[in-house]
Amino acid sequence: MSGHQNNLKETLEGFSEELKMHRDSHPIGIELKRETEKFVDTLMGILFPHFCREGYSSAEEIESHLVLLSHDLKVLLSSLLRDSSIDAGKTAEEFMARLPEVHRKLWLDAEAINSGDPAAESVDEVILAYPGFYAIAIYRLAHEFCMMHVPIFPRLLTEYAHGKTGIDIHPGASIGTSFAIDHGTGIVIGESTIIGDNVKIYQGVTLGALSVDKKIANSKRHPTIEHDVVIYAQAVILGGKTVVGHHSVIGGNVWLTHSVPEYSIVYQEQEAIVQSKEGLQGVLNFVI
């Protein structure tokens, strides 16, 4: 064996020992992610026939599937909470007990999206085809686990929806009833955001923090959006002290870092220049 091969062998041996140490201290693996996604798909199929691959002939059959899912959730959480004081069985039972209220809120969300979008033809279309509804649904499920202080799992849930929809809602955010997302791609809602009832937001909206300093992790870093507010596309609202008063409208492309009173209209003034192409020297090239 050459000197180069000996050096490589020694390097790999040392690296393998280092990797083993890290694997032993961080045992959570890809299987947890797969099981989380399986849990989401199964639960959404029980809550809404739109996501179900099989029919349920009776309420008793639905109940039996919920009981089985509760058992699967307990097993899933047991691996995650093995070093925690949180009881996996009690957490699974508590989550299942909260499902009726979560389901009620999700129907209100679907109805709000349907009533607020001229392009929507029915609540069924919203549930089946609108990424905004799907992202809200997974957020509401994840939020319950977040409120029960379950680590990691809530983020796995919302990141699953993020990957499917392009909508990033932190499970720690507090969102009221009848929440509507239209289009949705690129929306970011931060951890300490508070959103009231009957709020509607469009694609590209960011409800974020003014700073990403780790020292303020436990503080109110994200804005408060009061009831009946509409936020149009690409608006950016930042800061934990920023409050958008109820019944306000935030126009597209607005950059907002201070509070606005109720019944406000906030818009970005800009001038669009229109002129004839005739007589222009050369060709205008717009690079996107």
Q: For residue 211, give the CATH number of its domain.
A: 2.160.10.10
159 and 223 inside one domain:
no
57 and 101 inside one domain:
yes
Domain range holding 212?
186-268
Is residue 52 included in any domain, yes or no?
yes
Pairing of β 200-202 and β 230-231: parallel
137 and 253 inside one domain:
no
Is residue 7 included in any domain, yes or no?
no
Quote the pLDDT of residue 288. 42
Domains of the chain: total? 2
- Digit-by-digit pLDDT tens for the chain (288 residues) are 566 678 888 899 999 999 999 888 877 777 889 999 999 999 999 999 999 887 888 999 999 999 999 999 999 999 889 888 999 999 999 999 999 999 999 999 999 999 999 999 999 999 999 999 999 999 999 999 999 999 999 999 999 999 999 999 999 999 999 999 999 999 999 999 999 999 999 999 999 999 888 888 889 999 999 999 999 999 999 999 999 999 999 999 999 999 999 999 999 888 888 878 776 665 555 544
Is residue 18 included in any domain, yes or no?
no
Quote the pLDDT of residue 78. 92
φ, ψ for residue 13, nearest 5 deg: -65, -45
E runs forming strands in the chain: 168-169, 174-175, 180-182, 188-189, 194-195, 200-202, 206-208, 224-225, 230-231, 236-238, 243-244, 249-250, 255-256, 265-266
Choosing from 99, 133, 167, the residue where a domain stops is 167
151 and 48 inside one domain:
yes
201 and 138 inside one domain:
no
Is residue 102 included in any domain, yes or no?
yes
Is residue 251 included in any domain, yes or no?
yes
Pairing of β 206-208 and β 236-238: parallel
Q: Domain with 83 in it: what CATH number?
A: 1.10.3130.10
Cα(108)–Cα(33) distance, integer angstroms: 29
208 and 236 inside one domain:
yes
Cα angle: 163, vertex 128, 247; to 5 degrees: 80
77 and 127 inside one domain:
yes
